Amino acid sequence: MFEALVIAWIIFGLLAGAIGASRNVGFAIHALIGFLFGPIGVLTALLFKPTDEDKYRRRGSASGFVKCPYCAELVKAEAQICKHCGNHLSREEQVPTATAVAPSETGSYRGYQIETYSDHFKVEGERFDTIEDAKKWIDHFS
């Protein structure tokens, strides 16, 4: 009886982790919740909604959000006025979405993908003017 309960809790943990991974919100945290709380952990994984910040961190500007150049808060890419600071946003100030221009080349540095565009570089949705700036940013987080 006890063995069946342990196996069920392991299955709940793996199921919750798989749901979290499929929704791009993390396998480990949801698996842990599933292991600890069983069916409630699976329900949590199903109901968890990532924040805008989580979406931006994982997908960059392809998430539909950009950082305001004035206050650095996230706003929708289509926004004309920042909801946080009230400044007007022009299209030139916003970072173009990743789908607008395809990178000509993608390389890696310390496990990070560096996308090379004709006039800039991108790492994790962050835009850099030079490859050296992109590598400095990676070194800061490595």
**Tens-digit pLDDT profile for the chain (142 aa)?**
889 988 998 999 998 888 887 776 778 888 888 888 988 888 888 888 777 777 777 666 677 888 888 888 888 888 888 888 888 887 654 444 444 455 566 777 777 888 888 778 888 888 888 888 888 888 876 6
Q: Which residues contact 32 (CB under 8 A, 6 or more apart)?
A: 13
Q: How far apart are the first and last CA of the chain?
A: 46
Do 71 and 84 touch, CB atoms closer than 8 A?
yes
Q: Taking the model in full, what pTM does it have?
A: 0.42
